[in-house]
Amino acid sequence: MQNFTPPGGWGVILHFLHENRLAIQGALTAFFIALLFSIWDGEGWKRSLNAGFICGFVALAVVSLFDQLGVADMDWSFVIGAAVGGAGVDRCRSLINAAVTIFASKKGIN
């Protein structure tokens, strides 16, 4: 049986979405949870969208890391997205700052 590739650029786009569906699922989960929690806390729309995007990118990185480590055999993307989005943007930012500080101090960078 042959694979059917739709005409135009849709075949490439659909293939990309299928190959990266777990990372996209985790990022979207984190985005919407962070967005809704920020709105619930009374933040403005711009700050809520920024929080959603930051948490989405962090979840995308963590899901991709899990994929590189070989843990992607199980679908952890929804759990990772929910954990990152639920933790919120402030905790994600402080965790990233701590990781960069530790990395810089080990490399001798001020």
Q: What is the pLDDT of residues 33-67, one digit of tens each?
A: 999 999 998 888 898 999 999 999 999 988 888 88
The identity of residue 7, as a single letter, is P
Confidence of residue 107 (pLDDT cuts 50, 70, 90): confident
How high is the pLDDT of residue 33?
93
Closest CA to 20 of 83, 77, 79: 77
Residue/partner pairs of 33-41 with CB below 8 Å, 24 or more apart: 33/81, 33/82, 33/85, 33/86, 34/84, 34/85, 34/88, 34/89, 37/85, 37/86, 37/88, 38/88, 38/89
Structure tokens that stand for 87 in this block:
């933790």
Give the model's pLDDT for residue 1: 47
Q: What is this structure's pTM?
A: 0.76
* Higher-confidence position of 12 and 27: 27
Spatial separation of the C-alpha atoms in residues 33 and 39, rounded to whole Å: 10
Chain-centroid distance, C-alpha 21: 12
